[in-house]
Amino acid sequence: MNTTASDAVDLLNALKPFLEDVEGVDVAVCPPFPYLSLISKTLEGSRILLGAQNMHHEAKGAYTGEVSPAMLKDVGCDLVILGHSERRHIFGETDETIRKKIQSALEFGLRPILCIGETLDDREADKTADVVRRQLKGCLEGFSRQDMEHIILAYEPVWAIGTGRTATPEQAEEVHRLTREWIEEQFDKKAAGSIRIQYGGSVKPGNARQLLEQPDIDGALVGGASLDAESFAAIVQAAIA
């Protein structure tokens, strides 16, 4: 919940020159709902994809204050973040709710970025693996091997979001690996090998390369560092490297 309309456009215009010659990675921005249409126009002619931060699972109806997948598609969104830890812990979204949203996103041609991750209490109680597997099962139960080709995962340890604390590359890799193993168990080896699993949790220019060098970390879901064009561009460059 950051920026005004003019700030959002200025941020994107500052970012675009850094990304003109970017090859080998995909880059997306996910502004707040009120600015999606404006940013969609600003992105015309750019390789940067557009995503939303959330959505409702219904296509339309009496859901005052909500935004539908049809609306997101209509303003040019390619992606939508679902199940972000703040949606789970502040707004009480459940795995079942998130699963409905994933299904709806796929039906409307949006690629969902499904967020999973444990709290500090979970980690200190050595429950990280149990929590992550439970979230994966609750959010992805009933989906097909073909559906998985259009889903992106993002591991975001709740204790490392906005706190300045970051999982070590080894800690992050451990969870990414077990996530990929779960995908292989539930679907197949091809699905496990092809699915993108991003890391999100205080990713910064100073730690991005070490994180992204890990074999099972395929990208970054960037928070605060995305509010500065140079910082965000530096993370993109780390991904390319």
**In the chain, where the domains are located:** 5-240
Taking alpha carbons only, the member of 70, 103, 101 closest to residue 88 is: 101
What mean pLDDT is predicted for residues 186-201?
96
pLDDT at 154 over 90: yes
Distances from the Cα of 222 to the Cα of 108, 139, 167, 200, 233, angstroms: 25, 22, 14, 6, 11
pLDDT at 8 over 80: yes
Handedness of CA 199, 203, 30, 158 (dihedral sign): positive
CATH architecture of 5-240: Alpha-Beta Barrel (3.20)
Please report the pLDDT score of residue 163 as a whole number: 72
Active-site option among 84, 93, 118, 173: 84
Please indicate whether residue 156 is annotated as part of the active site: yes
CA distance 78 to 110: 5
pLDDT at 113 over 80: yes
pLDDT at 230 over 80: yes
Please report the pLDDT score of residue 160 as a whole number: 83
Active-site option among 57, 93, 118, 156: 156
pLDDT tens for each residue of 17-74: 999 888 999 999 999 999 999 999 999 989 999 999 999 999 999 999 999 999 999 9
CA distance 83 to 97: 9
Q: What are the backbone dihedrals phi and psi of residue 161, each rounded to the nearest 5 degrees, phi first? A: -100, 115
pLDDT tens for each residue of 157-168: 998 876 777 789
Q: What are the backbone dihedrals phi and psi of residue 224, each rounded to the nearest 5 degrees, phi first? A: -60, -35
